[in-house]
Structure 1
Amino acid sequence: MISNKTLLSVGKFDLKLQHLLVIGILSLSFSISFLVRSQAADYGWELNEFDPFFNYRATQYIVDNGITAYFDWNDDHSWYPHGRDISQTSQVALHMIAAYTYWIFGGGMDLYDFTILFPVIFGSLSVIVIFALVRVIGGTTAGLFSALFFSVSLPIILRGTIGWFKSEPLGLFLGILATYFFLSGINSKNKKISIIKLIIAGITVPLAISAWGGSQFFIIPLGVFFLTLPFLRSDHKFIIWAIPLFTSVVIITSLAFERVTTFIFGLGGIVLIFPTIFLIVCIFIQHKSSEIKKTRNGLLFLAIILIFIMFIFIINSSTHFLPLPSFRYLNAIYPLLTTTNPLTDSVSEHATTNIQQSFFFHSILMIFAALGIWLLLRNNQIKNSIYLKNDMISFSLIIGLFGIYISSAFIRLELFASLSLIILSSLGLSLLVKEIFNSTERKNFKNSLFKYSFLLGIIILLLIPLSFPTNSNWITLAKTPPTILNGGSIYHVSTNDWTESMDWIKNNTPKDAVIASWWDYGYWISTLGERATINDNSTLVDHIIKNVAQMFSSSPEDGWKMLQDMQADYIVVFVSGERLNIDYNEQPLYILQGGGDESKKSWFMHIAGVPLAQYLESDGITGTNYFWNNTLLGKMFPFTVIGYLNLQTNQESETYQPGFIPIYVKDIKYPSDSNGPLKLVHASPSFNGEKGQPLIGVFVYQVNKDFVSLK
């Protein structure tokens, strides 16, 4: 074939046309991934979302103070006055790798700019490691398909756009890399190479988990895969030391990370350690059994082990002798598990995925993945099919099915469904394409036309989700403003409200000032405002967040007392909405329901544990008169309801009716010269915006220490 033509020879290596093809497709995949992930830069050059600001500050701490100081760091800007043990509660590997790569490749670049690019680079480099992983499983063609699919996968891209300096891009990169080294290690014919690869894999797994807790996902299919190896592999003398070597390196490396150690020596570690023990004992049993009975005896032992593990889980549910992971990890393992904790429910990325979302995220990949499963199961029966080892088929099915299963828990875990579908789809398409193009039928024009028409049809099918619908396809939906520029509101705008307000706090409040707010904004305040916060996005202490919610829900006098107990000097609220194109008696009119605290207040009430009907109307969103007149949060919103409007019928009402929305005018209840519990000392620019403009309103109140309650 022309693809095997040698272009250049260097020593024993021959550069062939197929090598250039591989390099070209990988370069194309990297470029596509980089460009799609970078679209948000059109709105502004900023970190995106909330956690990246803390990760940037933690990385900056390493760059300024060194690794040793980082491991001794108790952050007094978090969870005031308790502080936060950073190395015990953070993504240590993310911070360390970011700092080291900055030292090596930063080249004088500002660290903030470097961390904005960091997720795009590692996310795009992941196309290469997914190629390497799938290539080990099913060959080069399958690997190239996987790289292309990975480069445009919406769930994966959404968790790794420019500025997304969070855990997922690096964690996913390391998790795939670890899986590649493991599979490559157990497939290598050179035992010395196998040892090196298995050790690298064992080191990379804890790094992946330390960078992102979600990388624990890779442990599950590996553990289940271990259970199958005594039945699928005949080289028992090799795997009886190779698998324990990998597991031992994982455990030893985990000791270097406080968070990972808890996982390895808890229920999570059972998924890896027990299958390793099973593998050793099962091979010993099979070795002692006759040829006829060795499979039966192995399966009986497997059944006993599974029953034993179930027994441990049942006992642990009441005794807790093994530490349990947090609810979100338990929910990922058992998606039907429900929570009564409104704090967990209030996080948007913890929402359960529905059928419509899953189909939109994966669409055509679902079809090709189903095809892949079918072809894998009958691979050995297909004439002229590419040969896949039984253990690689087993691993593909295990990781595929587990990824789909786990992704049903949270919408943020859809990237695992995407990863699984990419692997299965790539293998399925590779098998199908090779079956058609390797057909032994007589080559003629009609046969060639069919083959290339088939290939064109596949390309068209894959292009559909990339192009349609025009304004909400896989490409366009990856372009959203950095959260700091629109406050996470529903408006796709770029404003300086939050950055300007954080600058104001930094330059106009005492350096030892303590700022209260809803936990969403804690990282922004501590990083950009450089002030201590009561709570933040790590959500480490539930009762403090509940206390803040109760403060907002309390009367102004009681809320002020709670702020005093918290030792807060200032308090921040965020209001999002839109100024209408008409005024009323020369007063601007507003609709407030854009994703700020005015939209989150129902969760404040849930978490505070107060009766919702007292605070909210029947729609669960609109505040009651009691909310506006008798809560600190209601008084902090510098607006007052003047009436209600039905947008469908244009009917007006002085009181709330179902189907009507409130219309607001400005009304600052606590001005800067107020004698009340608070004083409004700063309002962000869009509070005075033009007609028809979105409101991204950040309001900073000073706690009036001299306030005297009338109660």
Structure 2
Amino acid sequence: WELNEFDPFFNYRATQYIIDNGINAYFEWNDNLSWYPHGRDVSQTSQVILHLTAATTYWMFGGGMQLYDFTVLFPVVFGSLSCIVIFALVRVIAGTSAGLFSALLFSVSLPMILRGTIGWFKSEPLGIFLGILALYFLLSGINSKNHKIAIIKLISAGIVLPLSLSAWGGSQFFIIPIGIFFFTLPFFRTDHKFIVWAIPLFTVMVFLISLNFERLSLGFLFGLGGVSLLVPTIFLISCIFIQRKSSENKKTRNGLFFLISIMIIGTVILIINANSEFLELPSYRYLNAINPFLTTSIPLVDSVAEHASTTISQSFYFHSILMIFAGLGIWLIIKNNKTKESSFIKNDMLSFTLIIGLIGIYVSSAFVRLEVFASLSLIILSSIGLSLLIKEIVKNTEYKKMKNLIIKSSFLAGIIILLIIPITFPTSGNWVSAAKAPPTILNGGSSYPVSTDDWLETMEWIKNNTPKDAVVASWWDYGYWISTLGERATIADNSTLSTAIIHQLAKMLMSSPEKGWKVLMDMQADYVVVFVTGQRLSVDNGDQPLYVLQGGGDESKKQWFIRIAEEPLEDYLYNDGISGTDRFWNDTLLGQMFPFTPLTYVNLQTQQQSTTYQPGFTPIYIKDIKYPSDGNDPLQLVHTSPSFNAEKGQPIIGVFVYKVNKEFVPIN
């Protein structure tokens, strides 16, 4: 088995650093293999709690196994623990039956599985576990009749929530429903003497613990995250004070007037802040969740597949039947509330359920990565809906009446069948097939469902055949693999904060070979890695192998390189948005680094051929190494991965390492 995707490799390396050097050294570590030449302050820019938790649990439960293997299993363990805490959370809201349903639905939720498969040693599994645990402690605390137990649980919630924020930045979205929930408490709770100190206790603990993490600290307190907790807490205290000073029949009215005035003032402040930014704004990926229209304004953000806006078809694919049960849950909750069946769910828990349901669905509409929040929301609503529905079906059952029993049994069987559907269908996209996908390091994240050693072999080559102080340039996707497996310094990776560096890399790739070489020299790069995917056709052109290039390598990302470099697309791509023009192939460093050249264009439907591009035609390529290892060019090809010599019909997961020719003399 292997770690999956990109970030887990850095997280593994950071955990290994703690194991080898201790916790104190970790907080002083400036990683020289990242963000060359400046290095990376790891504790200030990383998911500290993820690394500390992994190291601590390894010390406790590692049992002599390799740390790499331990981190591969880590997300599965915490994903399983999340099933337990989601049960506890929903049990507090709506009882044991709903809690059991939530654990079942969580265990087969496709978004949760995709973000917690074996090898997914990223932020989400631990962050989601801690976030749900914090919600459990908070709701359980404010529902506790024993004030001593309530204090313990509220303090625990105030400790665990910042841990979740440190483990995963996406946990910021747990704060949004909590803040809105606080706005509703003065209207749904009558025990004002309790909540007037309980909620501030939780908020103060969150702030105090946050100050201990460099990545959160004052930036969180005075940013939108901290304000989203502080303002509702102040409102709650003020509203309760206003209601106490108001007559009995004017309490609610005065409280609502105060809430409306706060909303108006808050809206004005946000409008002013949009220009002045006196409140620290989160990064664009968080702002995208609030305003999805921002997604199309920044090419660098748009180029990340996880930041793509969620489509309706994707929502149905991820959640399928849960969307129906969630809607049913909302209807039954409101129906029961109207019929005064308050023994099932209290008003404040009803409020929280609807808030987290709607907020989760809304923020997940911004980009695909946040589908875990939609899943969490739908699981809570669906589990409550199912428990209510089954309660309605089985209550007052007259078992002597066989007809009634058959009808109700059939109805229950129908529900079970509906629950099985998302587990088994579609056959190529259910939770089983999702879990069976090969780790990214084995197919480069391409669309080819194969496992090869191209990347592993290339990283081993870099580790053994380049100077230890060598600097390797590549697109940021591959930075973590190079620094962790290749053990060489990289210029950019998946956490690079400087957009200028990414822009410079894109500019280097899309510049003329001489200008690109100069950029590489300015960045002090010694090697360049380029990744090409495709497939060798089952027929050859005489003794020349023929290829199609597509599948998720740099050949499929070049349109984003062009946008990020702020170059006109039409100069480098034909109108299909994929096929490179002559200028791309002849006048850009990236085109020259691809060891292929278009031979002809073919319409795969009609089998027509053309020597020039025609709409609807697919380019067919032949091998063409432009920068051989012994040439006097800007770059020299020093390594090709094994699948470059693929057999007929086999995919290419091609990783190519070029050495920067420091002795090259530009003509211009």
Paired residue for 2:11?
55
SS in 1 for 2:431: coil
CA distances 1:513-538 after superposition (whole Å, capped 9, x unpaired): 00001111000000000000011111
* Pairing partner for 1:545 from 491, 497, 502: 502
Which contiguous aligned blocks of 4+ residues in structure 1 show a shift greater than 3 angstroms? 336-339, 380-386, 440-443
Paired residue for 1:264?
221
Shift of 1:384: 7.1
Distance 2:31 2:266 in 1: 39
Q: Is 1:274 the equivalent of 2:231?
A: yes
Paired residue for 1:116?
72
Q: Is 1:85 the equivalent of 2:36?
A: no
SS in 2 for 1:699: strand
Give structure 1 stretches of 5+ with no counterpart: 1-44
Shift of 1:510: 0.3
Shift of 1:339: 4.4
**What amino acid is aligned across from residue 108 of structure 2 in structure 1?**
V
Paired residue for 2:136?
180
**Contact preservation (8 Å) 2:295, 2:301:** no
SS in 1 for 2:622: strand
**What amino acid is aligned across from residue 559 of structure 2 in structure 1?**
S
Q: Is 1:125 the equivalent of 2:66?
A: no
- Matches for 1:441-460 after TM superposition, within 5 Å: 443-460=400-417
CA distances 1:431-490 after superposition (whole Å, capped 9, x unpaired): 111122113667522222222211111000111122223223333233211000000111
Shift of 1:386: 5.2
Q: Is 1:299 the equivalent of 2:250?
A: no
**What amino acid is aligned across from residue 259 of structure 1 in structure 2?**
R
Q: Is 1:582 the equivalent of 2:531?
A: no
Paired residue for 1:414?
371
**Contact preservation (8 Å) 1:587, 1:665:** yes
Paired residue for 1:598?
555
* Pairing partner for 1:496 from 450, 453, 458: 453
* Pairing partner for 2:383 from 386, 405, 426: 426
**Contact preservation (8 Å) 1:385, 1:435:** no
Shift of 1:561: 1.0
**Contact preservation (8 Å) 1:142, 1:430:** yes
Shift of 1:239: 0.6
**Contact preservation (8 Å) 2:398, 2:405:** no
**What amino acid is aligned across from residue 95 of structure 2 in structure 1?**
G
Q: TM-score, normalised by structure 2?
A: 0.98
CA distances 1:131-183 after superposition (whole Å, capped 9, x unpaired): 00000000000000000100111011111111111111110000000000100
Distance 1:199 1:267 in 2: 22
Paired residue for 2:315?
358
Moved more, 583-592 or 436-445: 436-445
**What amino acid is aligned across from residue 148 of structure 2 in structure 1?**
K
Paired residue for 1:36?
none
* Pairing partner for 1:507 from 464, 475, 478: 464
Shift of 1:352: 0.4
Distance 1:372 1:693 in 2: 49
- Matches for 1:194-593 after TM superposition, within 5 Å: 194-261=150-217, 262-382=219-339, 387-439=344-396, 443-593=400-550
* Pairing partner for 1:142 from 98, 109, 115: 98
**Contact preservation (8 Å) 1:77, 1:533:** yes
Distance 1:440 1:337 in 2: 54
**Contact preservation (8 Å) 1:516, 1:533:** yes
Shift of 1:616: 0.9
SS in 1 for 2:77: helix
**Contact preservation (8 Å) 1:384, 1:438:** no
Shift of 1:286: 0.9
Aligned alpha-carbon RMSD (Å): 1.3
Distance 2:663 2:294 in 1: 49
**What amino acid is aligned across from residue 659 of structure 1 in structure 2?**
G
CA distances 1:282-325 after superposition (whole Å, capped 9, x unpaired): 11111111111111111111111112221221221122111100
Distance 1:658 1:336 in 2: 31
Shift of 1:367: 0.7
Distance 1:439 1:249 in 2: 47
**What amino acid is aligned across from residue 637 of structure 2 in structure 1?**
L
1:573–1:298 Cα change, 3 Å: same
SS in 2 for 1:258: coil
SS in 2 for 1:70: helix
**Contact preservation (8 Å) 1:263, 1:325:** no
SS in 2 for 1:253: helix
Paired residue for 2:639?
682
Distance 1:676 1:173 in 2: 53
Distance 2:267 2:342 in 1: 40
Paired residue for 1:163?
119
**What amino acid is aligned across from residue 324 of structure 1 in structure 2?**
L
Distance 1:172 1:469 in 2: 26
**What amino acid is aligned across from residue 74 of structure 1 in structure 2?**
N
Distance 1:340 1:377 in 2: 40
1:384–1:183 Cα change, 3 Å: closer
**Contact preservation (8 Å) 1:152, 1:475:** no
**Contact preservation (8 Å) 1:560, 1:677:** yes
Shift of 1:365: 0.6
Q: TM-score, normalised by structure 1?
A: 0.92
**Contact preservation (8 Å) 2:115, 2:125:** yes
**Contact preservation (8 Å) 1:62, 1:70:** yes
Give structure 2 stretches of 5+ with no counterpart: none
**Contact preservation (8 Å) 1:385, 1:431:** no
Distance 2:69 2:453 in 1: 18
CA distances 1:183-225 after superposition (whole Å, capped 9, x unpaired): 0011111111100000000000000011001111111111111
Distance 1:380 1:78 in 2: 55
**Contact preservation (8 Å) 1:59, 1:99:** yes
Distance 1:124 1:598 in 2: 38
* Pairing partner for 1:97 from 53, 62, 77: 53
1:672–1:229 Cα change, 3 Å: same
Distance 1:337 1:709 in 2: 41
Distance 1:136 1:455 in 2: 25
**Contact preservation (8 Å) 1:384, 1:435:** no
Shift of 1:657: 0.5
Paired residue for 2:145?
189
Paired residue for 1:72?
28
1:659–1:66 Cα change, 3 Å: same
SS in 1 for 2:530: strand
- Identical-residue share of aligned pairs (%): 73
